[in-house]
Amino acid sequence: MLGSNGLDTMASRLLIVDDNAQFLGAAKDLLERQGVDVIAVASTAAEAIGITHELRPDCALVDVDLGADNGFDLAVRLAADGACPVVLISAYSETDFADLIAASPAVGFISKADLSAQRIADVLGRGRPLPS
């Protein structure tokens, strides 16, 4: 069932993980204005893991560059824990990370410039293509 924000109502509780506090605030505000329930934000992998175990978000938006941490490694940890689907985000283009994204357990990628509730819904709805 789709909510008014275009997201499946079962996948609208989001965690945003990024080491840039300004981006975290802007992304949270943008998505909440579009009807998404941003249940938490985190700036480190350790915070993100703790939050996912405690709050069980439906999806985690994870920046590929978390300063001292690595978003690709965090995606692997969250997938191994069965915590929640991960959508990788970055200020850089998807083509800059194509091989790493393809090798990761993330369900998709969204450029920070394209971040929206609808774009998240599109990525979650599409999921990962099956290998040929």
Q: Residue 129: which pLDDT band, with cuts at 50, 70 and 90? A: very low
Residue pLDDT, tens place only, 46-71: 999 999 999 999 999 999 999 889 99
Domains of the chain from N-terminus onward = 9-117 (3.40.50.2300)
Q: Got the DSSP string for 44-98?
A: SHHHHHHHHHHH--SEEEEESEETTEEHHHHHHHHHHHT---EEEEESS-GGGGH
Can you give the pLDDT at residue 8? Answer: 45
- Mean pLDDT, residues 38-52 taken together: 96
Q: Is 98 exposed, middle or buried (0-12, 13-18, 19+ CB in 10 A)?
A: exposed
Give the span between the Cα atoms of 5 and 130, in whole angstroms: 27
Can you give the pLDDT at residue 81? Answer: 81
Q: Residue 128: which pLDDT band, with cuts at 50, 70 and 90? A: low
CB 9 within 8 A of CB 2: yes
Can you give the pLDDT at residue 67? Answer: 84
Task: Report the predicted TM-score, pTM, of the whole model to 2 decimal places.
Answer: 0.86
> Which of the pair, 46 or 126, is modelled with greater confidence?
46
Structure tokens at 77: 């940890």
Can you give the pLDDT at residue 80? Answer: 87
